[in-house]
Amino acid sequence: MLQGWIQIGLTLAMIVAITPIFGGYIARVYLGERTLLDRGLNPIERLLFNLSGVNPQTQMTGWQYARAILFSNLAMSILLFTILMLQGILPLNPTGLGTPTWDTALHTTISFITNTNQQHYSGETTYSYFSQTLGLGLMFFTSAGTGIAVAIAFIRGLTGRPLGNFYVDLTQAITRILLPISIVGAIAFVAAGVPETLSGPIIVPTLEDPNIRQAIALGPVAHFEIIKQLGENGGGFFAINSAHPFENPNGLTNLIQILTMISIPTSMIYTYGVIANNRKQSWLVFGMVFILYVTFIVVTAIGEYNGNAQVNAILGSVQPNLEGKEVRFGWAQSALFAVTTTGTMTGAVNGMLDSFMPAGGFVFLSDLFLQIIWGGQGTGTAYLFCYLILAVFVTGLMVGRTPEFLGRKIEKNEVVLTSFLLLLVHPLFVLIPGAIAMAFPEQLAGISNPGFHGLAQVMYEYASATANNGSGFEGLADSQPAPTALWWNLSTSFSLLGGRYIPIIALLLLAEGMSQKQPVPFTTGTLRTDTVLFTGVTAGVVIIMGALTFFPVLALGPIAEGFQLGK
């Protein structure tokens, strides 16, 4: 037991150490300050801008920034859908895979363009090397880069700066952040045992009977795996994702995956502090989220270490819950990975989330409902500061002070956009399709578990889609050619699109409104937001708002299941 907690503690210490280093670097990139990569990348970026006709000096309004995102994402969606539907005649298809069903291809396209990577298919038996590396792999970079660009534009707006240029921000996110780390990380993965090959599957005899042959899938996995985690994408090259020994063969690769998936969302909070020239507030906000994150890890880990009470009663001793876990990771690393992947909106798994105890299910759903521990790639940081704005408004009403944030008044438009973003959009795209699926459990949903766990499976699928996470509780007939796959592909696509683009537009409009406000002087009557007290109030707002909206789902799902297993 002690060894598991030490592993968790050391990983958390590394996360804290990385945050100011990486966060400071991201800030320097977007403040236009000098970095080590300038000499090599400046000419490349100038060439890209000249070829594309982008003027780096052009500033965009909120609507212009949003339109640039929508149009570019639409163009990339058409490209990806075409690749998937034509993969049967495209190269790099050693197993001769045919065309997937149109609804699977559509769902995959929407899922990957929105940085969700929710997979209603098995990678090694559905998509070719060409589709996975050149199609899906491209979206790993562009969707993650889009999230980073939105966060930077949002931070600029909060601090009174112009929002910037989407195409410049996206390019720099890829060339300065995602691509360099991915190159180094891919080499490290290859050295650690992750395959990187265009060879087809290896045919070997089985251990049970030498006369029976078995195909072991390979592929260009290493470079796919690093950007999968760094970009908070999460889509696995193989069906079982980071539980597969070729995606995640040992403790070293597992540690790298945890650190890479959480490095950008944690560092973006520090980036805000540098750009806003208020590192104190960034550390306070970081500390608030870090405490919630550690609490969730402890709750999940204790649940897995204590195991199933009913199984323990039969065995006569307490045994960790290792169902659906990889022995090479154990209960501690499985719990840490699962809380991190649902908190960061990565969605990759090194053990099946469906097999965790109800305490873990409660935590995973809570991560998806709150979306700020640590949240989506870039957008999670923006969500976090929306909660700060809402807390400023609520606190200002309570103490009779004019709500201000970073020297700018919080007025009707800011409150409306923030409330719309936090209190309406996410519940709308989770609860409505979830209720429809539950109303037709056999005809539409193909639910395998009629109990409390079945409800959690359904609501988790839509929460994962809307939060752009992509992980699943499984137990749903959502893979081709199941008769209910059409429902799951189309209904979750609705949640994927709504959960991605409506918040992005609202965030950009909110940022533009804040940037246009005249700063007001700081006085003794100004409500300070960089204090421990205010940060605590913000934590209360986060928890209360999440509980008021989604507690019935938690009560009828993992909480009820926990009481049932505790009998």
The predicted structure's pLDDT at residue 445: 64
Instruction: Work out the average pLDDT over 387-402.
Output: 78
What's the CA gap between 414 and 399, in Å, rounded? 19
More confident residue, 447 or 503: 503
SS3 at position 470: coil
Return mean pLDDT, the chain.
89
The predicted structure's pLDDT at residue 210: 83
pLDDT at 567 over 60: no
The predicted structure's pLDDT at residue 350: 92
More confident residue, 462 or 442: 462
Instruction: Work out the average pLDDT over 548-555.
Output: 89
Write out pLDDT tens, residues 228-254. 999 999 899 998 999 999 999 999 999
The predicted structure's pLDDT at residue 523: 66
Decide: 411 and 395 in contact? Cβ < 8 Å: no
The predicted structure's pLDDT at residue 524: 66
Write out pLDDT tens, residues 272-314. 999 999 899 999 999 999 999 999 999 999 999 998 888 888 8
Among residues 536, 261, 266, which one has the least CA distance to residue 380? 266
Segment holding 216, helix H or strand E: strand 213-216
Chain centroid to CA 515:
27
pLDDT at 388 over 90: no
**Residue 436 domain-assigned?**
no
Structure tokens at 267: 């560092």
Instruction: Work out the average pLDDT over 213-241.
Output: 92
Q: Which domain range does residue 175 map to?
A: 21-277
Q: What percent of the chain has pLDDT over 70?
A: 97
Instruction: Give this prediction's pTM.
Output: 0.93
Among residues 187, 334, 320, which one has the least CA distance to residue 258? 334
Decide: 8 and 301 in contact? Cβ < 8 Å: yes
Decide: 351 and 337 in contact? Cβ < 8 Å: yes
What's the CA gap between 125 and 344, in Å, rounded? 28
What DSSP string describes 26-61? Answer: HHHHHTT---TTHHHHHHHHHHHHHHHT--TT----
Among residues 230, 200, 229, which one has the least CA distance to residue 215? 200
Q: Distances from the Cα of 397 to the Cαs of 388, 411, 527, in angstroms? A: 14, 12, 11
What's the CA gap between 562 and 567, in Å, rounded? 9
What's the CA gap between 119 and 449, in Å, rounded? 20
Instruction: Work out the average pLDDT over 259-269.
Output: 94
What are the two backbone dihedrals, phi and then psi, of residue 317, each rounded to the nearest 5 degrees? -155, 160
Instruction: Classify burial at 239, counting beta carbons within 10 Å of its beta carbon; exposed 0-12, middle 13-18, buried 19 or more.
Output: middle
Instruction: Work out the average pLDDT over 350-357.
Output: 91
Among residues 149, 109, 266, 254, which one has the least CA distance to residue 193? 254
The predicted structure's pLDDT at residue 400: 67
SS3 content of the chain, % helix, strand, coil (to 5): 65, 5, 30
Q: Does 481 sit behind a cis peptide bond, omega within 30 degrees of 0 on the bond before it?
A: yes
Instruction: Work out the average pLDDT over 411-432.
Output: 84
pLDDT at 475 over 80: no
Please count the structural domains in the chain.
1
Structure tokens at 363: 């935590």
What are the two backbone dihedrals, phi and then psi, of residue 220, each rounded to the nearest 5 degrees? -80, 75
pLDDT at 268 over 70: yes
What's the CA gap between 340 and 348, in Å, rounded? 9
More confident residue, 550 or 479: 550
Range with the largest mean pLDDT of 314-328, 393-407, 550-564 = 550-564
pLDDT at 38 over 80: yes
**Residue 387 domain-assigned?**
no
**Residue 222 domain-assigned?**
yes
Instruction: Work out the average pLDDT over 174-178.
Output: 95
Instruction: Work out the average pLDDT over 399-414.
Output: 75
Write out pLDDT tens, residues 424-451. 888 999 999 999 988 877 666 667 777 8
pLDDT at 566 over 70: yes
Place of tokens 């949640």: 495
**Residue 68 domain-assigned?**
yes
The predicted structure's pLDDT at residue 443: 62
